[in-house]
Structure 1
Amino acid sequence: MKDCQWICKLVEHGLVRPSFVPPRDIRQLRDLTRYRTETVRDRAREVNRLTMFLEDTGIKLSSVVTDITGRSARAMLDALVAGERDPQVLASLALGSLQGKTPLLTRALTGDFNGHHAFMVASMLRAIDEADDRISRLSEEIDRQLQPLRQQVDLLITIPGISLPLAQVLIAEIGVDMNRFATAGHLASWAGVCPGNKESAVKRLSGRTRHGGTWLKTALFIAGASAAHSKTTYLGAQFRRLVPHRGAKRATLAVGHSILVAAWHILHDLVPYRDLGPDYFTNRLRKERQTRRLIAQLAALGMDVTITSREQTA
């Protein structure tokens, strides 16, 4: 029997689970979030293009200003486009803390800026403004469509590393009906964030994840990178525990996997996130076992250690 015939027989008897097809409202929300993500990327490309073009003219504004599209930098660029070329006059447009960097700004704004450069910079700034307007309109429409699911969005935000846009992306990609996935492991496997399980002759060959959904994996990676910076959460402790022997990228994706598992439980039970604490990996071992492990590590470094309990010295 051919494979296609065998698959048809299985489908006829209900032995093949259907693919995950979200309802119409979630599919429409997915279109909005994906388009917003692409627009954000387009905006970032325009900002990078503007930065490189300014450096070609000798304007090193990005070396002094953190955000080249901020209020101060934008005022200086608008003045350049309008025809102002005096670096001191341009530097005087700084606002806030940048006012203390006037000498640096004066040097950074000294360059060979002509009419051609003004036309190009004006075009790039206009493209950035159009992207900002498009992002704003898309965000408003996403908020409007998510009003019936406001409870789920608020619960997802309780996860460290999950911001409002990322919570919106999660709902758009996986929906809110977690009965479509038998367990959190099924959801993680469908998303492609589970470790690989390639073995041969009881020898593990690869632990790479499969491709999965690009949009969801990217959002989870961003959330994992954000949660990894935390010093007081379980997710931050997980990252610091894995990064020495797995590397930053794999450790970040592992944190994203934990975030997705937490999201499944939150959406399934409608409960807020409960953090296990930064000392979870230490406290889950018995005190004696943890002590022996630390002593063995010091002994491997060639050190003799004598342990004295605080209770005995008191």
Structure 2
Amino acid sequence: MVSPAETDMIAQLREETDLAEKHREKYREKRLEICGEKFPEELKRLQTIPEIKERSATSLIVEIGTDMDKLETAAHLSSWSGLKPRNDESNKKIKSRSITHGNVYLRKTIMECARAAGRNTFSIIKTDFILPYLGRS
């Protein structure tokens, strides 16, 4: 049996959840609006990559930016995002190969897109590299 106090508490929690959802939706719309106004070409170009949709493209623009002069090579970007493994090796003894600390939000976005691309049954990798070797049947 649920008491009136518990019912009120559940109603308050539901209101808080609804408010958080409204804030999240408002933030997503604002982020998309800003990226659409200031970086429309970059937003379209990012969405041409398989499994990168609106949300991921705006997150990448927000976290990385569009000025790539700060990052000299792709290795700098992977290191900054925390996806580059550490190299703690001394006298051919490997101490650790875990990934480094980096931008948590950027790393999560990249990993989410990579997982989605890996799960896709009709990906570019499959059509360009695997199917030509398998033949038509």
Match runs of 1:198-237 below 5 Å: 198-233=88-123
Q: Does the alignment pair 1:155 with 2:39?
A: no
CA shift for structure 1 position 280 = 3.4
Partner of 1:277: 126
Cα deviation, 1:19-39, whole Å, max 9, x if unaligned, reads: xxxxxxxxxxxxxxxxxxxxx
Give the share of equivalent positions with the same residue, in percent. Answer: 27
Q: Which one of the candidate residues 132, 135, 138 is aligned to 2:27?
A: 138
Q: Which runs of 5+ in 1 are unaligned?
A: 1-111, 234-274, 288-314
Which structure has the bigger radius of gyration?
A: 1
- 8 Å contact from structure 1 (residues 231, 278) kept in 2: no
Structure 1's 278 and 205: CA in aligned 2 closer, same or farther, altered over 3 A? farther
1:143 Cα shift?
A: 2.2
Corresponding position of 2:18: 129
- Aligned-partner Cα distance in 2 for 1:183–1:230: 29
Q: Secondary structure at the match of 2:39?
A: helix
Per-residue CA distance 1:182-216 (angstroms, 9 max, x = gap): 22122111221112222222344432111011221
The aligned residue for residue 176 of structure 1 is: 66
Shift of 1:281: 7.2
The 5-angstrom pairing of residues 44-193 of structure 1 reads 112-146=1-35, 147-193=37-83
| One-letter amino acid of the counterpart of residue 232, structure 1 | F
Aligned length: 132
Give 1:225 shift: 2.6
Q: Distance in 2 between matches of 1:137 and 1:199?
A: 47
TM-score normalised to structure 2 length: 0.79
Against the structure 1 CA distance between its residues 229 and 190, is the aligned structure 2 distance closer, same or farther, given a 3 Å change threshold? same
CA distance in 1, matches of 2:118, 2:95: 28
Contact 1:161/1:225, CA 8 A, preserved across alignment: no
Q: Distance in 1 between matches of 2:75 and 2:130?
A: 21
TM-score, with normalisation over the residues of structure 1?
Answer: 0.38
Q: RMSD between aligned alpha carbons?
A: 2.5
Instruction: Please give the alpha-carbon distance, in whole angstroms, between the structure 2 residues aligned to 1:163 and 1:224.
Output: 12
Q: Supply the AA of the counterpart residue of 1:135.
A: R
Counterpart residue type for residue 77 of structure 2: L
CA distance in 2, matches of 1:279, 1:159: 15
Q: Counterpart of 1:280 in structure 2: which amino acid? A: F
Spell out the pairing of 1:11-30 with structure 2 (5 A cutoff).
Answer: none
